[in-house]
Amino acid sequence: MKPSTTPTPVNEPSLSYAWYIVGVLTAIYTFSFVDRQIFSLIVAPLRRDLHISDTQVSLLIGFSFAVFYTFFGILIGRLTDVYSRRAIIGIGLFLWSALTTGCALARSFPEMLALRMGVGVGEAALSPAAYSLITDYFPPGRLATAISVYSMGIYVGSGLSYLLGGLVVRFASTQAMWNLPLIGVIRPWQLIFLVVGLPGILLVPLLFSVREPAGKRGNQTGRAVPIGRVFAYLFENRRTFLLHNVGFGLLSLSSYAGGAWVPEFYRRHFHWSIQTTGIIYGVIVAVFGCLGITAAGRLADYVRSTGRAEATLRVGTGVAVLGVPISCLLYLAPSATWATIWLIPSVTLAAAPFGIAPAAIQQMMPVSMRGQASAIYLFILNMIGLGAGPTAVAMVTEYVFKRDDAIQYSLAIVASLSCAFAAVLLYGAWKPFLASLLRLERWNRSYAAVEKQSVL
């Protein structure tokens, strides 16, 4: 017996306002990825001025950010199940934008590392709260599409970071040094951090237009569900949760590895300038990343409407299978032209999982545990993807091939292997996911009975 896919009728808020909420959250998510991905365009000047290696650059891009992003995400995820999600997002937005701006003042690797850790803490406030808000505003039949639209911020932001970064690099590089009021003399790469960091602070007042949906919060007690109870529920669904999280985490690893090193791949292998790579790669990421993530969400919602409740996992498995040959064709292409042709489907596929994966978590968890479950999902996803992806490529280049111009082989190995393992794990999650949905139905009936008894 398959679990029901028909949503329970509720008093839904205005659908137009619900999409406005998604628009605001998407804009904020976009800024988070502009701040996060800009490092990929300035690898060479960072190595030169901070006297660091590829591996140390990868720690700034990925691991140092991911550790604090994921650990604080779990703590903040608990808060989102009780406190104002709007306020949590606003505090995080101000913090990460201010610290990104502060990266312009870093003079050493330890200083930059500390600032990146702080940016990770700030950005940890966004997605658990955003997923929870969106889930409250949309019926289950539209949830994958809504979260996928929100997740477009990944690719709009990444695309803008490459595109605007390339343009700013071109402008900033017209002078070897810049003398700014109150700051003093800085290099072009430091100017870039000022340009991308400061505008995020201006978005904070926009959150005053976001309101919490009345009567939709699963937890009305004013207290977070005890963490032991959350982990007990996750343990009952451990097979689903692990196969889902690790499977999508490996797809994230492939995506973040490419996002971190594709600009350097073009610079080192095809001798493109940073400006040219940033503009071309930025346009492809912004256009086809958004296409991939929204198409996957729409496809998952369509497949679910046909009675396949595990639709998100079916789509994820297909993405992983296609990712293996596409990765090899891209990174082993004989020319820049062919690489750019294969970059289009590669970016499309890399984007696809980032909306359907969190939608599956929202689908399988009780309302009162969604924020914490989302935070744990983001912990695993980002430790595998953002934490390990950029560093895996850097270490294979540095310690296996031992030369900078072998980056194409490192990317091909890391991306294709991670997609292959992801396909196996996500396929294995289909049946456990259906069992988890049935378990959720039983939990909801039990919870409703307890609530009714407490009222009587």
Whether 450 is covered by a domain: the verdict is no
Mean pLDDT, rounded, for 326-343: 96
Does position 11 have pLDDT exceeding 80, yes or no? no
Whether 412 is covered by a domain: the verdict is yes
Closest CA to 86 of 211, 200, 173: 211
Of 169-173, 251-255, 278-282, 408-412, the one with minimum mean pLDDT is 169-173
Does position 226 have pLDDT exceeding 80, yes or no? no
Whether 280 is covered by a domain: the verdict is yes
Phi then psi for residue 222, to 5 deg, are: 85, 5
Mean pLDDT, rounded, for 126-130: 88
Whether 7 is covered by a domain: the verdict is no
> CA-based Rg of the chain, rounded to a whole angstrom?
22
- Binned at pLDDT 50, 70 and 90, residue 13 comes out as low
Count of structural domains, the chain: 1
| Model pLDDT, residue 184 | 72
Highest mean pLDDT among 64-68, 94-98, 163-167: 94-98
Whether 452 is covered by a domain: the verdict is no
Does position 198 have pLDDT exceeding 70, yes or no? yes
Closest CA to 426 of 325, 323, 313: 313
Does position 341 have pLDDT exceeding 70, yes or no? yes
Average pLDDT of the chain, as a whole number:
85
| Model pLDDT, residue 299 | 94
Does position 346 have pLDDT exceeding 80, yes or no? yes
Contacts 24+ apart (CB under 8 A), 366-369: 366/218, 366/233, 366/440, 366/443, 366/444, 366/447, 367/135, 367/217, 367/218, 367/219, 368/81, 368/218, 368/219, 368/225, 369/81, 369/218, 369/225, 369/230, 369/233
Mean pLDDT, rounded, for 243-250: 95
Domain of 370, CATH number, reads 1.20.1250.20
Q: What share of the chain is helix, strand, coil (3-state, %, to 5)?
A: 80, 0, 15
pLDDT tens, 15-55?
888 899 999 999 998 888 887 777 777 888 888 888 888 88
Tell me which residue range forms the domain holding 280.
Answer: 15-208+224-445
d(CA 136, CA 148): 15
Q: List Cα–Cα distances, 388 to 54, 58, 254, 380, in angstroms.
A: 14, 9, 10, 11
Does position 167 have pLDDT exceeding 90, yes or no? no
Angle at 323 between CA 286 and CA 330, to 5 degrees: 70
Whether 9 is covered by a domain: the verdict is no
Does position 9 have pLDDT exceeding 60, yes or no? no
Whether 451 is covered by a domain: the verdict is no
Does position 330 have pLDDT exceeding 90, yes or no? yes
Whether 277 is covered by a domain: the verdict is yes
Model pTM score: 0.74
| b (16+ CB within 10 A) / e for 251-272 | bbbbbbbbbbbbbbbbbbbbeb
| Model pLDDT, residue 197 | 86
